[in-house]
Structure 1
Amino acid sequence: MYAVFKRELFSFLSSMVAYITIGVFLLVSGLLLWFFPDTSVLDYGYAELSGFFNLVPYLFMFLIPAITMRSFAEEKREGTYELLVTKPITVWQIIGAKYLASLVLVLFALIPTLIYYYSVYQLGFPTGNIDSGAVIGSYIGLFLLGTAFTSIGIFSSALTKNQVIAFAISVFLCFVTFSGFDSVSKIISLQNIETTLTALGINEHYQSISRGVLDTRDLIYFITFSILFLLFTKLATGGKK
């Protein structure tokens, strides 16, 4: 499993796609946080990063599919997946290795954004006038959101040999699972089950953790969500081991 994990991680890092993808994510998030008038923390006038944490999930909808789209699609297109499954390794180990490698890349993209927290911390009046607990909770929420979106991306990549199609499917599923249930719950005819529908969506649990409240129900939701899509991935690959 470690060999597959290392191969997956370094094959991505050895290509320009990784640096371009992560670079675009950091550039866009930086522009939205500091320069765009509707989202700039400087125009907002308060030492907080709530705007940043509200925007990143939508950036994740493109970043993570771009990272995961090649996981299985490229293997299938090049015919190396059939060779991989003949090795003394189970399908679950292959899926787990690809999932963890993609998740590490998501962490690589998130770590540089800590400079935003440091900057706002220094800009606060007085210095340090920022709710650090809420920031920590929001970063935990982003990581858990990353685990969910990564499982969707891995599943989407297992459905096709075409990376572009895998990317498109993943973006769609990420959007639906994050915002779709909230939108459906607002339909008049379904208002009586609004709470249930909202609870099924990722956004409700992400916002809960972002408030600094670490509820075990939210943790169980993200773990269950990721496991479910990894199970779908195993079914999509047709693996029996």
Structure 2
Amino acid sequence: MFAILRKEFNAFLSSPVAYVVMGVFLVATGLFVWVFPDSSVLDYGYADLQTLFNIAPWIFLFLIPAITMRTFAEEKKAGTIELLLTRPLTDGQILGGKFLACLLLTLLALVPTLLYYYSVYQLGNPEGNIDSAATVGSYLGLTLLAGVFVAMGVFASAITRDQIIAFLVAVVGCFLVYSGFDSLASVFEGSPAYYISQLGIAAHYRDISKGLIDSRDLTYFFSLMAGLLLATRLVLQSRNW
């Protein structure tokens, strides 16, 4: 698995895709956090990074499918998938290596945003007047959300040989599991609305972003990731290409 991880990660870093993805993510989040007057921390008056954690999932909604769309679709189109699957590796090891490579690249894009935290920490009045627990929770929530989006993107890439189709399927799938249930819940009231919203990522992401690490939220994210990866493994085992 680690050989696949290293190969995929190095392939990403040797192509312009990785740098375009990270550049777009950092420019977009930087504009929302520091420049745009409706969301700028400097105009907001509070020392927090809520703007970053509100906008990042929507940017990931497009950038992560752009990363994952090539994982299996490109191998199928180039005819190298058969060679890969005949190596002394299990389907699980191949899938795990590709999944982790995409997730690591996504998390690499998050690392420079720690400068945002340091800047807000320094700008607080008094210095350090920022809810660090909520910030840590928000980064954890964003990491888990990225894991689900990557799993969705890898699944979409496994069911087609066309990268554009894989991208579109992943975007739609990520949107539905992130915001679709919230939209559906708005039609109802009371308990039904609550339970329907709990089926989507957004509700669990909001809870973790408050700094409250609940085992139910962690179980939700890991179960969703495991389910998507299991579905992808079943697609690989079917060998229908």
TM category (shorter chain) comes to: over 0.9
How much has 1:239 moved relative to structure 2? 4.7
Give the aligned CA root-mean-square deviation in angstroms: 1.2
- Deviation, 1:236, is 2.1
Cα drift, residue 186 of structure 1: 1.4
Name the counterpart of 2:51: 51
Equivalent residue, structure 2, for 1:14: 14
Q: Name the count of aligned residue pairs.
A: 239
Alignment of 1:193-212 (within 5 A): 193-212=192-211
Q: Which residue of 1 aligns with 2:176?
A: 176
Match of residue 114 from structure 2 = 114
* Greater Cα shift, 105-114 or 229-238: 229-238
Unaligned runs of 5+ in 2: none
Instruction: Measure, in 2, the Cα distance between the counterparts of 1:57 and 1:118.
Output: 21
TM-score between the two structures when normalised by the length of structure 2? 0.96
Aligned partners of 1:43 and 1:62: how far apart in 2?
28
- SS class of match (1:200): coil
State the shift of 1:4 in Å: 1.1
How many Å apart are 1:33 and its aligned residue? 0.6
8 Å contact from structure 1 (residues 185, 191) kept in 2: no
Structure 1 residue 97: deviation in Å?
0.6
Equivalent-residue separation in structure 2 for 1:127 and 1:107 (angstroms):
28
- 1:33-112 equivalences in 2 (<5 Å): 33-112=33-112
Give the distance between the partners of 1:115 and 1:159, measured in 2 at CA. 38
User: Counterpart amino acid of 2:142?
Assistant: L
Letter in 2 for 1:74: E
**Contact 2:91/2:237, CA 8 A, preserved across alignment:** no
Distance 1:235 1:169 in 2: 18
Ranges of 4+ aligned residues in structure 1 off by more than 3 Å: none
**What is the CA deviation profile of residues 161-215 of structure 1, one whole-angstrom value per residue up to 9, with x for unaligned ones?**
1111111111111111000001011114x76521221111000110010000000
Residue in structure 1 matched with residue 155 of structure 2 by the alignment: 155
**Percent of counterpart pairs with the same letter?**
54
Report if the CA contact (8 A) 1:91-1:239 is conserved: no
Unaligned runs of 5+ in 1: none
2:229 pairs with 1:230: yes
